[in-house]
Amino acid sequence: MKAKVVLLVILAGVALALAIAFFVRPVQPHSLEPQQIETASPSQRQEQPPTPTVSAPALMPLRAPVSKIASASAPPDPTVASASKLERLDQTRASVLNLASGDPAIALRAAKQITDENERETALLTLVTEWTQGVLGPPGQRAQAIANYGLEAGLGLELVSHPELAVLWANEMVEPAGRAAMLQQVAITLLNSDPAAAFALSSQVPEADRRKFSDAVFAGWGTRDTDAALQWADQLPDAAERDAALSAIRSVAPVGIGAALSVQDGYAVINQILPGTPAELSGQLRAGDRIVALAQGNNSFVDAHSLSLQDIVQLVRGAPGTLLQLQVLSADAPPDASPRTVPIIRDQVKFKRSSP
């Protein structure tokens, strides 16, 4: 009996020992963590095979460092962007300056191919400034030309005193209104030295627009050298072209008395008397005189009071050699003064300027 009890005690002890051994044994890791690799001893690292490159992503942290997240979410520095734009504009100027001394066509096409609007404007203005040696027109005039015809034509009009460059510039344009405006201004500039070459430029505009082109050139010539324009027009073999040219010239240099008029208090007032005109040669008219009535030849006088300025101008103008009679009051005449009658023979008003 005692032997059985001892045996049961021994078996219970063995069972208890096995149970303790099972529950307290160390747990072996199933995978290597990054910390284990980083803290391995040099000898251990030498014995291990090199880590394949493809396993590197598994060792990267799942979240970006805070510093990288902060820098990615921060707004861009405007001073850096401004500096970059300024550098690009400076580079554009430098590149165009290098091209400007070479083939003009290559330089112009390179400038026109720039896609950024600000850089293209900088390039075109740099070309114009370089080719004109800095001799540019007033900024307001240039701005108005850009508003009327676009950027390329507005800047290109600065080149009209350099006909070859201006024609090249115009021929590289695709916008018809700006191109026609440039060619017209080039032609007007050429009139002083080579009228035939000026009118030959009409061949570079569409055939339907050539009459308009020629009329504009004659009108421009009429304001600069009216006598020369009239002589050229009189030599045109085609009667229709001749009449159109004379009409264009007289639209800016009319047949009349040579007085600039305005309307004040319902009356036409002489503001200015042009030199060498019938108004000056008569010796009877002065700036400030009021025109109270007009008569064609020996016909009855027409009361000029309350007539529009356009109507008065039409009455003053007429054919060369015809008589116009004016009744005028001096600017300082008393209210009850009687007007004096001034007879004037109409003639072609002529302008003469030495430069375009």
Which helix (H) or strand (E) segment holds residue 272: the answer is strand 267-273
- For the chain, the average pLDDT equals 82
Give the three-class secondary structure for 281. Answer: helix
Out of 24-38, 240-254, 273-287, 309-323, least confident range: 24-38
The answer, yes or no, to whether residue 83 has pLDDT greater than 80, is no
The answer, yes or no, to whether residue 131 has pLDDT greater than 80, is yes
Q: For residue 327, which of 306, 308, 343 has the smallest C-alpha distance? A: 343
CB 150 within 8 A of CB 170: no
pLDDT at 353: 82
* Domains of the chain with CATH codes: 132-222 (no CATH), 255-348 (2.30.42.10)
pLDDT at 67: 36
The answer, yes or no, to whether residue 166 has pLDDT greater than 70, is yes
* pLDDT greater at residue 78 or residue 177: 177
Say how many Å lie between the first and final Cα of the chain, rounded: 145
Distance of CA 263 to the CA centre of its chain: 37
Establish how many alpha carbons lie within 13 A of residue 144's alpha carbon, considering only the half-sphere containing its beta carbon.
5
Q: For residue 255, which of 350, 327, 351, 325 has the smallest C-alpha distance? A: 350
Out of 49-63, 74-88, 92-106, 230-244, least confident range: 49-63
CB 183 within 8 A of CB 160: no
Question: Phi, psi (5° rounding) for residue 164?
Answer: -65, -45
> Residue 120 and residue 92: Cα distance in Å, rounded?
8
